[in-house]
Chain A
Amino acid sequence: MGLIQREIERQGIPTVGISIVRDYTEKVQPPRTIFLKWPFGHPLGEPGNLAQQRTVLLEALKAVKTIREPGEIIDLPFPWRRYRYSVEQMASLD
């Protein structure tokens, strides 16, 4: 994924990636990444867990704004299970 992300970024489009294999992301060095230590095939979380999926997306959106150093990886603290997500309401991300 990170290689694709780098090519898109070269075209002038800002990108952010969601990684669940940190070692790979460190090697590939995409511009912006959030990392979750979650199982393969679950970058946005569990099926039907809308609050969890929304939380990850909001964190990715924030990362587009907050990551200023190319190649930075933000480690998100959310465990795979046993965590209660709330539906965060935000007026703006800007």
Chain B
Amino acid sequence: MLSSIKNQMIAKAITRFPSLAERFLAAYQPVRSEGVIPWSELGKPLRTCKMAVVTTAGVHHDDQQPFDMRDPDGDPSYRELDGTTIRSGFTITHDYYDHTDAERDLNIVLPLDRLDELTAEGLLDSLSVRHSASWAILTAATYRPWSKRAPRKLPASSKKTRSIWCC
């Protein structure tokens, strides 16, 4: 509990004063990728594409299990978000950034309203109903088990989806 409160206070400070974030960032270095960078061609006009969003802002439905803030390597689990209901009922579980603004306007981390507008203007074909959320700070300890199950489990990556935003 005290650790969580401390982390939230640090999060507020580094969100407000980004120059303080260097020490925090140094303590949570990501897995360095090696080898060929994955690449898929878009292959069709954007106006024919269906979009989905993945956010690592810790967003979830109110009735979903919160992300685990106690694991120092990060909780690699994800939550499936229903785009038709998440906007009217969500919780953000994340101790490592100040999400006061995201709670005021979810679009700054999950831009569904803005994507609806672009879709209505014909710039995109449609917006997926299903999106994904995590808060993962994936370190070497959590990445390998996560990567083994992720390709079969990410709900935003259905065969009908043609492009994905990652925030």
**Which residues from chain A sit less than 8 Å from chain B, CB to CB?**
1-18, 21, 23-24, 27-31, 39-48, 50, 53-54, 57-58, 60-61, 64-65, 70-71, 89-90, 92-94
B21 touches A31 (CB 8 A): no
A93 touches B47 (CB 8 A): yes
The bracket for how many chain B residues form the interface is 35 or more
Q: A3-B143, A40-B97 are in contact. Are A10 and B38 (CB under 8 A)?
A: yes
Number of A-B contacts (CB under 8 A): 187
Q: Is the interface of B mostly helix, strand, loop or mixed?
A: loop
Contact yes or no, B108 A31, CB < 8 A? no
Stretch at the interface among B63-71, B80-88, B158-166: B158-166
Pair B111/A70 contact, Cβ less than 8 Å: no
Residues of chain A with a CB closer than 8 A to B163's CB: 13-16, 64
B154 close to A43 (CB less than 8 A): no
Chain A residues whose C-beta falls within 8 Å of the C-beta of B30 in the assembled complex = 2-3, 24, 27-28
| Distance in Å: Cβ of B145 to nearest Cβ of chain A | 13
Name the A residues within 8 Å of B99 (CB-CB): 41
Contact A41–B98 (Cβ < 8 Å): yes
With contacts A9-B38, A28-B31 known, what are 5 further pairs, Cβ within 8 A? A2-B33, A2-B166, A27-B31, A31-B40, A90-B121
